[in-house]
Structure 1
Amino acid sequence: MTVWDRPEPRNAPVPLDREQIIAAAIALADEGGLEAVSLRKVAARLNAGPMRLYGYISTKDELFDLMVDEVHAEILPAEQPGDWREALRVLAHRTRQAALRHVWLADLLGGRPTLGPNGMAVTEAKLAALDGLADIDTTLRAAETVSSYLIGAIRREIANLRAERATGLSKREWQRASGPHLTKMLATGRFPTLTKVVHHSRETNAEESFATGLDWVLDAVAAKLTPPSA
């Protein structure tokens, strides 16, 4: 039985519910990452005994599942665009924005499908956007391809944010500090293509890079979408 199927305790001496538990867990994770979340710490946040929480949640993994599902409610747009590319583009950008608000989300994206109501609604929106454009297997592969790009791009951006926080150096400051070493290495002549990229590529910000990569993935998906024969 999943955590969503298990009923909450009734007639508790002090009012408590999963909604409060999830909100407290998300607040802890937003402040200190997933390592800051435990049933004991959540209970302390709610001024409740740790054993009280076990009536609502059995394990920390269940708690993480509930947290991810709660954030998925932020991802689903109020209205679904009619164009499949725009629908997937909106979902992708809203997922990135949610991950930037809740940095810990990047660690929990991917893997087994989420079975919470909000997560399933987001999955439904992705598949519905592609429905009828190809056979069901192609539709599924298309959705998986977009999701794989999305997860990888988000994790890379979050890793850079974490590096900035850990070192205290912005991207520009890190580039300046690393400049002498990079210049020395490029001067060896061992990295001609990398040298060309460093000296001649146009610098982009994270949002522009994400949007460009997403458009390229959607272009590739479009080339594979052939309506199923009647």
Structure 2
Amino acid sequence: MLVWERPEPAERPVPAPLSRERIVRAAIRLADADGLDAVSLRKVATVLDVRPMRLYGYIDSKDELLDLMVDAAHAEIRPTGDGWREVLRSLAESTRHTAHRHEWLADLLGGRPQFGPHALATGECVVAALDEVDVDAVMPLVAAVNAYVIGAVRREIADRRAERATGMDEKRWQASLGPYLERTFATGRFPALATVVHDAAHLDADATFHIGLDCLLDGIAARLAK
């Protein structure tokens, strides 16, 4: 029986009350602070002041705990708006904001679909907004938006992690590469790249994300108009 359907143990009069929700909240606190490597059943039990074996009455494995954490994060992803375009934009922005609040989420998004109750609620909201789209096109359109968001947030979070690891923000990192790029571009071997680096506007992550999202939604609109 999947964890979503498996009943929790009956409450017991013990010094440290326990529930699946408390376990998940504790795991998320650990992951928010120090990443997924900080999450283990032993560490969660320590935070909750219980013995690790008590957790197995609520979850069967760390993989199951990660599934519960991802579904809890989906409770923060609540697309809104009228029509498919507004809802797909809201899905993209809400997913991105949630991943920024919980960086570990970017490592777990993608792959097989999530079927926890919060993930299903998010999916229902999105699919309902696509009720006028051909049924065979619904999931490919949603998958395209999700793929774009996952790729974008993973890059953004990788940049954050690199900044923390090196102590260099984006401007300092770019400055450190400047002399190398100038020497390389001076060879004339990469004229197109040199033009973009020298002349194009250097947009921040927010502007880059929204321009890319607009391009994707424009493409979807053009396809649906056929």
**Fold shared by both chains (TM-score > 0.5):** yes
C-alpha distance in structure 1 between counterparts of 2:225 and 2:120, whole Å = 26
Higher RCO, Cα 8 Å, sep 6+: 1
Conserved? CA contact 2:83–2:130, under 8 Å: no
The aligned residue for residue 89 of structure 1 is 89
Consecutive unaligned residues in structure 2, runs of 5 or more: none
Structure 1, unaligned runs of 5 or more: none
What is the CA-CA distance between 1:83 and the residue it aligns to? 2.3
| Whole-angstrom CA distance in 2 between matches of 1:38 and 1:67 | 12
Q: Give the equivalent residue in structure 1 for 2:105.
A: 105
> Hey, what does 1:185 align to over in structure 2?
184
Residue 219 of structure 2: aligned partner: 220
Letter in 1 for 2:192: T
- What does 1:11-90 align with in structure 2 at a 5 Å threshold? 11-14=11-14, 15-77=17-79, 80-90=80-90
Q: Distance in 1 between matches of 2:195 and 2:146?
A: 31
Distance in 2 between residues matched to 1:11 and 1:102, nearest whole Å: 30
- 1:141 maps to 140
Task: Please tell me the root mean square deviation across aligned C-alpha atoms, in Å.
Answer: 1.3
CA distance in 2, matches of 1:173, 1:102: 26
**Counterpart position of 1:198:** 197
SS of 1:221's partner is helix
TM-score under structure 1 normalisation?
A: 0.94
2:7 aligns with 7
Q: Number of paired residues?
A: 224
In the alignment, which residue of structure 1 is the partner of 2:207?
Answer: 208
Deviation per residue, 1:110-163 (Å, 9 max, x gap): 111111111111111221121222x21112211111111111111111111111
Give the CA deviation at 1:13: 4.4
Secondary structure at 1:7's aligned position in 2? coil
TM-score by length of 2: 0.95
8 A Cα contact 2:3 2:64, kept in partner: yes
**Secondary structure, aligned partner of 1:23:** helix
CA distance in 2 between counterparts of 1:196 and 1:11 reads 66
Please name the residue that 1:160 is paired with: 159
Secondary structure in 2 aligned to 1:103? coil
Displacement after TM superposition at 1:12 (Å): 2.9
Distance 2:37 2:158 in 1: 16
Cα gap change, 1:13/1:49 in structure 2, threshold over 3 Å: closer, same or farther? farther
Counterpart for residue 150 of structure 1: 149
- 1:88 & 1:112 partners in 2: Cα distance? 20
8 Å contact kept, 2:100–2:157: yes
Give the distance between the partners of 2:209 and 2:11, measured in 1 at CA.
Answer: 49
Alpha-carbon distance in structure 2 between the residues aligned to 1:100 and 1:11: 35
- Per-residue Cα deviation, 1:147-183 (whole angstroms, up to 9, x for no partner): 1111111111111111111111100011111111111
Question: 1:11, 1:126 → 2: CA distance?
Answer: 37
Deviation of the 1:98 alpha carbon: 0.6
The one-letter code matched in structure 2 to 1:119 is A
Runs of 4+ in 1 over 4 A off after TM superposition: none
Tell me which amino acid in the other structure corresponds to 2:48.
L
| 8 A Cα contact 1:138 1:225, kept in partner | no
Query: 1:24·1:42 contact (CA, 8 Å) conserved in 2?
Result: yes
- Residues 1:124 and 2:124 are matched in the alignment: yes
Paired residues of 1:74 and 1:98 also in contact (CA < 8 A):
yes
- Aligned amino acid, residue 85 of structure 2: R
Cα distance, 1:213 vs structure 2: 0.6
